[in-house]
Amino acid sequence: MYKLIMPKEFVRSVLDLTPEKLHDLGIKGIITDLDNTLVEWDRANATAELEQWLASMKAAGINVIIASNNNEERVKKFAEPINLPYLFRAKKPLLGAFKSALQQLDLKPQEVMMLGDQMLTDMMGANRMKMHTILVKPVANSDGMVTKFNRAIERRVYKYLAKKGIPTWEEQ
């Protein structure tokens, strides 16, 4: 079970990822979650730092698409001002949105990284597709109801990892 939800890597922030690191991994595209991954779940727009990060990815030839379980209004309001393609009501961890994102990126799963803040949605779906997975530390300490349930399960996983001596972003 743990293998299915475990990311390949943990990072504190999306800003810690560089185009050079991604190129070294053979990554040509990023599927990213939105809420608590790129920005706080209640922040409407991208920060200046995030916009710079996205521009650096684009300049390096790494395409980015948002796959969010949130509604169209929320995702569109965030993505359109920064010209980012998006999928809403993605129903992660189901595979439909991942397949659609791969098709839009015109890339193979091994060329794409999933960047997200939840093991049970983002990591599980992407791992099933055999993508590189990176779990980012949530940018906010508050969550919606469904996410609160997921976080409770994740806390158990973190305890298990700590017992096994497996480092996460909490130890970085």
Q: Picking from 18-32, 50-64, 148-162, which range would have the lowest pLDDT averaged per residue?
A: 148-162
Across all residues in the chain, what is the average pLDDT?
Answer: 90
| Contact indicator for 125, 92 with CB cutoff of 8 Å | yes
pLDDT (0 to 100) of residue 4:
87
Q: What is the pTM of this model?
A: 0.86
Measuring CA to CA, which residue among 130, 98, 114, 99 is closest to residue 9? 114
| Domains assigned to the chain | 2-171 (3.40.50.1000)
Highest mean pLDDT among 35-49, 132-146, 158-172: 35-49
* Span 103-131, average pLDDT: 96
* Span 74-97, average pLDDT: 96
Kindly report, residue by residue over 27-42, the tens digit of the pLDDT: 999 999 999 999 988 8
